[in-house]
Amino acid sequence: MRWISRLLRRRPKPTPPRPETPGQQAAEKALSRAQKARREVESHRSAVSEIASRLARERQRNHFAEMFRQAIEGGHR
């Protein structure tokens, strides 16, 4: 157990923080913009899903109407 306490006492000093380079600053700004855009997209996800579901129902309804019309007319296109 002593060797553990010796290891804990001999911790190296943390390195001082380096100044940010222009590339790092640009990368952080790009990351911030991407995170903001993702939050915005996720906030609209339910509305988009609702509209997509409605469009799918309309497409299916139109498909059945077309099939019914073709059956009545007796022809295939």
Question: What's the whole-model pTM score?
Answer: 0.45
When pLDDT is cut at 50, 70 and 90, the band that residue 73 belongs to is confident
pLDDT in tens, 31-41: 999 999 999 99
The residues near 76 (Cβ < 8 Å, ≥ 6 apart) are: 70
DSSP for the chain?
-HHHHHHHHTPPPPPPPPPPPHHHHHHHHHHHHHHHHHHHHHHTHHHHHHHHHHHHHHHHHHHHHHHHHHHHHT---
